[in-house]
């Protein structure tokens, strides 16, 4: 799946997972198998985050991120989820 994260075009979003944390917040985790040069500068804990996919728009703050040379980036956001179907 393709998308846009904080203004950066992402290809190869390989997974998405939505979980409720024990603190009463919703966590949205996604993985990207590419390493765009402009992604690393926008990653920072507590920074605002906006992910736009064809089926949903997700806004929140960056709660965690990691990079692995074999699997790419994993980014977790604390969110308020809005799908494109909501008014």
Residue 80 binned pLDDT confidence (cut-offs 50, 70, 90): low
CA distance 57 to 70: 27
Residue indicated by tokens 């997700």: 58
**Which residue in 41, 49, 63, 48 sits closest to 5, CA to CA?**
49
For the chain, give every domain's residue range: 3-83
- Whether the per-residue pLDDT at 83 is higher than 70: the answer is no
SS3 content of the chain, % helix, strand, coil (to 5): 5, 60, 40
- Whether the per-residue pLDDT at 61 is higher than 80: the answer is yes
Burial of 74 (0-12, 13-18, 19+ CB in 10 A): middle
Enter the pTM of the model: 0.84
């Amino acid at each position: 799946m393709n998308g846009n994260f904080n203004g950066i075009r992402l290809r190869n979003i390989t997974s998405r997972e939505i979980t409720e944390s024990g603190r009463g917040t919703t966590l949205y985790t996604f993985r990207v198998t590419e390493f765009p040069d402009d992604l690393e500068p926008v990653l920072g804990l507590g920074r605002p985050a906006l992910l736009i996919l064809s089926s949903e728009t997700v806004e929140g703050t960056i709660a965690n991120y990691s990079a692995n040379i074999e699997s790419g980036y994993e980014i977790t956001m604390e969110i308020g989820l809005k799908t494109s179907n909501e008014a």
